[in-house]
Amino acid sequence: MSALREAAAAPDARPVRSSARRRDSLMAYIMLAPVLVLLGTFVVWPAIQAIYLSFFDWSFYTPSQFVGVKNYADVLGDDRFWQAIGRGLVFVVMTVPVSLVLSFLIASLAVSVSRRVSTLLKISIYIPSVISGVIASITFVMIYDYSGGILNALINVVGLPNQAWLGDPRWALGAIALPAVWLGLGISTLIMIAALLDVPQSFYEAAELEGASWWQRTRYITVPQIKNVLLFLLVTGFVASIQQYELPLVMTAGGPQHATELPNLFIFNHFRKDTYVGYSIAAAMLLFAVLGSISSVIFRIVNSEKLVD
Amino acid sequence: MAITQAAPVLAPTTTETALPARRRKKLTPSRLALLALKTLAGAVIVLLALFPLAWMVISGFKLRTEVIRTPFQFFPDVWEVQNYVQILSDPSFVRTLALTGFGAVIFTTGSIVINSMAAYAFARLEFVGKRIVWPLVLMTMFIPGMTILLTSFIVVTKLYMLDTLAVLILPGMATAAHVFFVRQFYLNIPSSLEEAARVDGCGRWGVYFRIFIPLSKAPFVVVGIGSFMAYWNSFVWPVLTITNPDLFQVQQYLANFRGERSSELGLLMAGSALAAAPIIVLFLIFQRQIIANIKMAGLK
């Protein structure tokens, strides 16, 4: 349709248009040049190199040698890689559901109080999100300190003995999940608040007239209404969480006994130790593949449930 | 939790006759209880969210022997400003803060300028190759960080950029997400505004500089804060690319400090608090725009 209309308008419009278009093109590329050059040099080129180098035995000091899929085979045959992926999934289970539930509850509270209180809530919950991973790590290491940290002081009150939160493989991953949730809660809560404000108020009024409880309103109105946002937060939360490595890098460097060596930290540590980068890059590519496929599975599961409803 | 228990009392109090008077609800005991519960829940949330930061700031006021001590004590016996004074009179710390701030300002300015120019081109100009270039730019958003972290390091090494300010500033400056965000904003600027300006004799560039830039305060704030934060908080990239202590960035400095002078915890906490302060202040100044932006970014 629009093509037809354009064709009809074309005869007298064409000369003007094409010269304007040429001027536009020149201006456009002048304006685009910095972004295209920088993205090309520091994103696209490294990405192409990553694909390329993953098939080579390459280091800074020796000529590269084509090895086919050997790097990939090495990674796939390496138990430590799979353990790191498994640990990443455990970490996701520790962080994402907690974040979703907490941000839903906080958002529910924030939309039901006065504007001023709601602003205070939003600001306080968001402040941790602007803190760097390093500062969060330093602070939480203090909180977890064996002899003088507040966490052990708190559990002593209930009569439990001190724990080496970061030194004990049983606790270490959880001890990293806590600051991860703390850092990430702000943004998911604010997105959730926006979603809750979008649910038509009339639905709740009708439900109240029917005498529906908070739980019923949540179950039958709120959750179905904000389903897309929940799905969005679930997938982005998953992707962000499984890629976390700054916190364990600073807090534990992956220890004790690799208990906090999340996938990206595994790759990063490997990269720093091994001058042959092919393995590390192949591992990063594989992680990307695993990540993409799990995200799409989550997407499909949640979407198919939607069809059943 | 609090809400779950308290909410059911809401239902019986609303009757059909109550509709006109809905706005000023009567303060029945059950409503009062609900209000109290909500207030309590809100206070707990605020306290928990801010606790680690408060703990950091307070620890900065403690003497070396006090920071970690048994039995645990939250507040110091005597509030000592000594740590804050000492770290602020350490030339290496001050230089690090100044240098990181300097880099962050250049990075932020550059990021606003180049990303918004690209956004304008994608939003408003018809140019040859747009259908190829735009998806390519968008695609860069989905390249996983770790994959290109490794090869970016190889690229900057080959470009002889290690241990320069350029290696900190240039690689992250162009960001597809920022281009996308500003473009989205520009698409919503009515084209009638642009046409009116062109009738008045404004050229394409004039439209950009006189119409679009003055209207861009909100997206510029968002991109600016995002870029400043990304630069100020970055840790892994400086660790990989900067080995000269004179060029250390603030997060790197703190991590190093923690490794090398681990006994001086009060000092470390004071330094961390000071390093977190600029970003918190920036956020508080622009919180309205930042929070509003998250509403916009939330899927729609």
Here the CATH number for the domain that contains residue B110 is 1.10.3720.10
How far apart, in whole angstroms, are the C-alpha atoms of residue A135 and residue B254? 8
* pLDDT attached to residue B299: 44
A 10 A CB-CB count for A82 gives 13
Pair (B126, B270) in one structural domain: yes
Q: How far is B165 from chain A (nearest CA, A)?
A: 15
- Side-chain-facing half-sphere of B42: CA atoms under 13 Å: 23
The last residue of one of the domains, among B36, B63, B83, is: B83
**The pLDDT of residue B25:** 58
If one counts the domains in chain B, the total is 2
Residues B139, B97 share a domain: yes
Find, in chain B, the residue whose alpha carbon is nearest to that of A191: B298
Average pLDDT over residues B29-57: 91
Confidence class for position B57, pLDDT limits 50, 70, 90? very high
User: Could you tell me the pLDDT band of residue A302, with boundaries at 50, 70 and 90?
Assistant: low
From its phi and psi, is residue B271 left (phi > 0), alpha (psi between -120 and 50) or beta? alpha
Q: How high is the pLDDT of residue B198?
A: 83
Half-sphere exposure at residue B77, Cβ-oriented, CA atoms within 13 angstroms: 8
Cβ–Cβ gap B255/A250 under 8 Å: yes
Q: How far is B193 from chain A (nearest CA, A)?
A: 18
pLDDT band per the 50, 70, 90 thresholds, residue B295: low
What does the pLDDT look like over B122-180, one tens digit per residue? 998 888 889 999 999 988 888 888 889 989 999 999 999 999 999 999 999 999 999 99
Largest CA distance in chain B: 77
Verify that A150 and A294 share a domain, yes or no.
yes
Does A65 score more than 90 pLDDT? no
CATH code of the domain containing A289: 1.10.3720.10
Residue A248 and residue A106 in contact, taking contact as beta carbons nearer than 8 Å: no
A66-70, A217-221, B75-79, B240-244: least confidently modelled range = B75-79
Find which of A30, A106, A138, A183 to mutate to test the B interface (most B CBs within 10 Å of its CB): A138
A62 occurs within a structural domain:
no
Q: Cβ distance B115 to B175 under 8 Å?
A: yes
Same domain, A13 and A90: no
**Cβ contacts of B299 on chain A, cutoff 8 Å:** 191, 195, 228-229, 232
More confident position, B52 or B202: B52
SS3 A56: strand
Hey, of B37, B147, B284, which one would you mutate to test binding to chain A, going by the most A CBs within 10 A of its CB? B147
Which of A185-194, B109-118, B202-211 shows the lowest mean pLDDT across its residues? B202-211
Decide if pLDDT at B14 tops 60.
no
- C-alpha B255/C-alpha A246 separation (Å) is 11
Helix (H/G/I), strand (E/B), else coil: B61: coil
Tell me which residue of A294, A115, A60, A108 sits closest to A218, measured CA to CA: A108
Q: Are residues B143 and B250 in the same domain?
A: yes
Contacts of A156 in chain B (CB under 8 A): 72
Give the length of chain B. Answer: 300
How is residue B88 written in tokens?
């602020």
Cα A15 to Cα A21: distance, rounded to the nearest angstrom: 10
Query: Mutate which of B128, B150, B267 to test chain A, going by most A C-beta atoms within 10 A?
Result: B150
Residue B265: which of A53, A142, A209 has the nearest Cβ?
A: A142
Q: Is B21 part of any domain?
A: no
Q: What is the band of A16 on the pLDDT scale with cuts at 50, 70, 90?
A: low
Residue A19 lies in a domain: yes
A77, containing H or E segment:
none
Whether residue A270 is found in the same domain as residue A141: yes
Q: Has residue B47 got a pLDDT over 80?
A: yes
Judge whether A132 is closer than 8 Å to chain B, CB to CB.
yes
| Of the candidate ranges A94-103, B2-11, B279-288, the one whose mean pLDDT is the lowest | B2-11
CA A207 – CA A225 distance, rounded (Å): 14
Q: Is B102 a residue whose pLDDT tops 90?
A: yes
CB atoms within 10 A of CB A307: 6
Closest partner residue to B229 among A29, A130, A287, by Cβ? Answer: A130
Residue A287 pLDDT more than 60? yes
> CA B300 to CA B295: how far, in whole Å?
9
Q: CA–CA separation, B153 vs A89, rounded Å?
A: 28
Pair A234, A286 in one domain? yes
A98 touches chain B (CB under 8 A): no
- B155/A136 CB distance under 8 A: no
Q: Is the dihedral of CA B213, B215, B219, B224 positive or negative?
A: positive
- Residue B199: what pLDDT? 85
* Residue type, position A66, single letter: F
* Residues A180 and A224 reside in one and the same domain: yes
User: Total domain count for chain A?
Assistant: 2
pLDDT category, A235, cuts 50, 70, 90?
confident
Instruction: Give backbone dihedrals phi and psi of B60, rounded to 5 degrees, phi first.
Output: -65, -20
Q: Is A134 on the interface with B (CB under 8 A)?
A: yes
- Whether pLDDT at B11 is above 50: no
Residue B248 pLDDT greater than 80, yes or no: yes
Hey, are the CB atoms on B67 and A148 less than 8 Å from each other?
yes
A131 in contact with chain B, both atoms CB, cutoff 8 A: yes
- Report chain A residues whose CB lies below 8 A from the CB of B3: 105, 108-109, 112, 214
Please answer yes or no on whether B125 and A27 come within 8 Å at the CB atom: yes
On chain A, the residues whose CB falls within 8 A of the CB of B170 are: 38, 41-42
Say how many CB pairs under 8 Å bridge A and B: 296
Whether A58 maps to a domain, the answer reads no
Q: Which of A53, A125, A179 sits opposite B45 (nearest CB)?
A: A125
Asked if residues A299 and A234 have their Cβ atoms less than 8 Å apart, the reply is no
Can you give the pLDDT at residue A183?
94
Among A209-223, B151-165, B184-198, the range of highest mean pLDDT: B151-165
Q: What is the mean pLDDT of residues A31-45?
A: 95
- Residue A308, pLDDT > 60, answer no
- The whole domain housing B193 covers 91-297
Q: Are residues B165 and B43 in the same domain?
A: no
Residues A45 and A89 in one domain: no
Domain span at residue A44 reads 2-53
> A274 falls in which pLDDT band (50, 70, 90)?
confident
Instruction: Look at residue B47 and tell me if it is in a domain.
Output: yes
Q: Average the pLDDT over A9-37 and give the result.
A: 73
Assigned token pair, B229: 């934060």
Nearest to A109 among B41, B152, B297 (CB): B41
Q: Which residue has the higher pLDDT, A18 or A51?
A: A51
User: Does the pLDDT at position A117 exceed 80?
Assistant: yes
The pTM score is 0.86
Of chain B, the percentage scoring pLDDT greater than 70 comes to 89
pLDDT at B20: 44
Q: Same structural domain for residues A13 and A129?
A: no
Question: Distance, in angstroms, between A277 CA and closest chain B CA?
Answer: 8
Mean pLDDT of A62-67: 81
Q: Which residue has the higher pLDDT, A291 or A303?
A: A291
pLDDT tens for each residue of B22-31: 455 567 888 8
Tokens linked to B146: 């770790």
A59 within a domain of the structure (yes/no): no
Residue A172 pLDDT more than 90? yes
Closest chain A CA to residue B169: A38
Which of A17, A25, A32, A41 would you mutate first to test chain B, the one with the most B CBs within 10 A? A32
Q: Can you give the pLDDT at residue A2?
A: 44
Task: Mark whether A12 and A148 lie in a shared domain.
Answer: no
Which has more confidence, B107 or B68? B107
Other beta carbons within 10 angstroms of residue A73's beta carbon come to 12
Same domain membership, residue A125 and residue A41: no
CA distance A26 to B265: 57
